[in-house]
Amino acid sequence: MWKILGTLLIGIAAVGLAGCRIAPVMDIVDAPVIEPTGGPKLTADQVKLAIQRAGATLGWQIKEVQPFLLEGTLHLRTHMAQVNIPYSAERYSIVYKDSQNLNYDGKNIHSNYNGWVQNLDKAIKVQMGLR
């Protein structure tokens, strides 16, 4: 009886873990600023605006924390992800800051977080290409 119960508990735990996709936290570090085709180099203010617009299109709340540092917060259902976004006219980064209900353990996080960061990065690049 105990052997069957133990096997069932192990099976239930395995199914529970399989449903929760965990991956190492992905940061975007020093991504180069894309200069618009045929246009002048972007200023730091234009990069900031591109980041804010990109975030808004994806539901991120982007606020300025200090000069050259933005903070992005995304709320989806019961989940929250927060990132720091330092930027300049030459580069920007998207770095993990905090989260709720994403199983962050100091190194790993629910893999949806990484998708959200990748989508933000792509949207920033699109916004920088548009003038």
Distance from C-alpha of 110 to C-alpha of 1, rounded to nearest angstrom: 36
What is the structure's pLDDT at 129? Answer: 86
Distance from C-alpha of 61 to C-alpha of 69, rounded to nearest angstrom: 14
The H or E element containing residue 114 is helix 111-129
Distance from C-alpha of 96 to C-alpha of 72, rounded to nearest angstrom: 10
pTM for this one? Answer: 0.82
What is the structure's pLDDT at 40? Answer: 83
Q: Does domain 22-129 have CATH number 3.50.4.10?
A: no
From the number of C-beta atoms within 10 Å of its C-beta (0-12, 13-18, 19+), residue 13 rates as exposed
Distance from C-alpha of 53 to C-alpha of 117, rounded to nearest angstrom: 15
DSSP state of 115: H
Note the pLDDT tens digit of each residue in 103-121: 999 999 999 999 999 999 9
What is the structure's pLDDT at 36? Answer: 72
Note the pLDDT tens digit of each residue in 78-109: 999 999 999 999 999 999 999 999 999 999 99
H/E/C letters for each residue in 57-95? HHCCEEEEEECCEEEEEEEECCEEEEEEEEECCCEEEEE
For Cα atoms 83, 88, 90, give the angle at the middle one, nearest 5 degrees.
Answer: 115
Note the pLDDT tens digit of each residue in 13-62: 444 444 569 999 999 999 999 877 767 889 999 999 999 999 999 999 99
